[in-house]
Amino acid sequence: MRGTQALNPSADVRRVVLALASGLVPEPGICSEWTTDHLKVVRAESVSPWLYISLKDHTDVGLDPAILADLRQDYRASAIRVIQREAALRQLLVAFDSHGIPLLLLKGAYLGRFVYNDPALRPMLDLDLLVRDEHFEQACEELERLGYRLSVELDPEEERLLKLPRVYGYSGSPPEFIDLHRCIRSMGYYELRSDILWDNAIEGELYGCRVFYLSPELNFIHLALHNLNHRGDLRDWVDLALLLRALNPDWDRLIALARSLGVMRPLFWIFHELSEDWETRAPADLWAALASYTPRPLEDRVIRGRFAYFWRVIARIERLDGWSARARYLRKKLAAPVGQPDTGSFERLTDYLRSKVTLFRRLWRRG
């Protein structure tokens, strides 16, 4: 036995994931005492397909064959799900391209291809898509024409001022969910403006259609904000570690973008944890620039404070016009209504909603 370590599946899993994501060879026997509790952690952290591919040839780690078989099944299920999602994505690309609506793929839709090199290794519950602000309403109409329906009704004034994404669902089997963005907002405080995003977009082709992706530097910034927004699953940290290894961002460009977007402080905390826990250190010039930045009064509160959720609500409220709109928004947040996406699978619905309501738990636990 390894003493108390054997009683901490989360720490055991994190140690193995960290080594693999950092390009290190895992220690012999490091998984020899893994149990079904470790498997539950792996699944909860959304890394089981990637972990299976990463470990299947490391026979010396001592992983129980039954657990390896379960991981293999998770990978196969993810591969089947990718086939279904790619069919939906292809339909969207063809429709948007035919109507002259430029489409930019965010997060998992990008990472699966260009960082993981296999979309099945990077599970996701929804597609995050970005369109130009002037095409936003047209894109919404196109989604509805294709059979997607709004999953959450938003107050038009709040949506306009807060620039929230619209969440659409398609009641197939399994259902599809799409978050349609016109910009990228995070923690109720930070905004990656549409003009900067599109100025740094890279054009490509997918399924014979024109498609766009963020540059490596902007992708890192976006994923860093996403990580802090949700107090990252292991999957979110793996995203960042693998992106840095695979794409080798231009550090000067990264810091210039961070300054122009006002996100120096989030990157400071991301690199702080990457250097402490993930064997990834920022270059000296980058770290000096991040460390010399003086944060604004609200920044550390919305990023790391135990009451970060509260401060994020305050940050959003400040963007609304007038006290009546602010009071209405606050009442809704206190009531915490949950949208009811039109879906054809209760299991997928619960998975989707679970992914959206874990934020407060993570913020409280990791103050």
- pTM for this structure? 0.84
> To which residue do tokens 């270059």 refer?
283
pLDDT of 156 reads 76
pLDDT at 281 over 90: no
SS3 of residue 130 by DSSP: strand
- The mean pLDDT value for 161-183 works out to 84
Region of 18 (left: φ > 0; alpha: ψ -120 to 50; beta: rest) is alpha
pLDDT digits (tens, 9 = 90+) for 40-53: 999 999 999 999 99
CATH fold of the domain at 85-365: Beta Polymerase; domain 2 (3.30.460)
Least confident of 65-69, 167-171, 211-215, 251-255: 167-171
pLDDT at residue number 335 = 62
What is the spatial distance between Cα 167 and Cα 180, in angstroms, rounded to a whole number?
Answer: 6
Long-range CB contacts (< 8 A, 24+ apart) of 245-250?
245/23, 246/114, 246/115, 247/114, 247/115, 247/216, 247/219, 248/216, 249/216, 249/217, 249/220, 250/216, 250/217
Question: CB-based burial of residue 367 (10 Å sphere; 0-12 exposed, 13-18 middle, 19+ buried)?
Answer: exposed
Give mean pLDDT, residues 69-91: 94
What's the confidence (pLDDT) of residue 164? Answer: 84
Tell me: pLDDT of 4 over 70: no
Would you list the domain boundaries of the chain?
A: 85-365
pLDDT score, position 338: 41
The reported pLDDT for the residue numbered 327 is 73
DSSP string over 90-127: HHHHHHHHHTT---EE-THHHHHHHTSSSGGGS--SSE
- The pLDDT of 328-350, averaged and rounded, is 50
- Sheet with 201-206, strands from edge to edge, namely 149-150, 166-170, 176-181, 127-130, 104-105, 209-214, 201-206
C-alpha 187/C-alpha 315 separation (Å) is 8
- As a whole-number percent, the residues of the chain with pLDDT over 70 amount to 86
